[in-house]
Amino acid sequence: MSWLPKKKIVVPLDFSDFSMTALKTARELVSKSSDLYIIHVIPPLTPMEPGVIWPESNDMARIEHAEEALAARLSAPEYEGAAMEIRIGSPSREVADFAEEIEAELIVIHSHGRTGAAHLLIGSVAEHIVRYAHCPVLVLRD
């Protein structure tokens, strides 16, 4: 396996500064932006959420809103041609499955660095992706 350049890199994007740092790093690892595959995963609505009773809060509307937000956030020329995917489900599982479906060579993700009780309660998406992924995962830390 050669390290550089990669042909297919998956980058999970949650709109945080951390994920934007991962995207910038991934962009440096490919020769062209069309080798980037950006995925945003929306958690499913649970029956306890108020949005469930409003017909405007269906999954298609949520996906359309996420697509618009991604397009606006990634309007810079260095991301032109990058593939964007929106999914609903468990972030770690959806990212790993997407990477396997497109036969990605690498996943680049940033760890938010939670420790202690926050890590136990919330878990680590990056940690789960490392466990589930079929390909190497580059986990960035500050």
- Measured CA to CA, the distance from residue 29 to residue 10 in angstroms comes to 11
pLDDT in tens, 46-86: 776 665 566 666 788 889 999 999 999 999 898 999 999 99
pLDDT in tens, 10-60: 999 998 889 999 999 999 999 899 999 999 999 887 776 665 566 666 788
The count of C-alpha atoms lying within 13 angstroms of the C-alpha of 137, restricted to the half-sphere facing its C-beta, is 21
Predicted confidence (pLDDT) at residue 105 exceeds the cutoff of 50? yes
Q: Specify the residue for token string 């190497």.
A: 136
Q: Which of 38, 25, 18 is nearest to 80 (CA)?
A: 38
- Tell me if residue 81 falls in helix, strand or coil: coil
Instruction: Give me the DSSP letters along 3-58.
Output: -SSBS-EEEE--SSHHHHHHHHHHHHTBSSGGGEEEEEEEPPPPTTSGGGGSGGGS
Q: Which of 22, 29, 15 is nearest to 86 (CA)?
A: 15
Q: How far is CA 28 from CA 9, 113, 123, 133, in A?
A: 11, 23, 29, 21
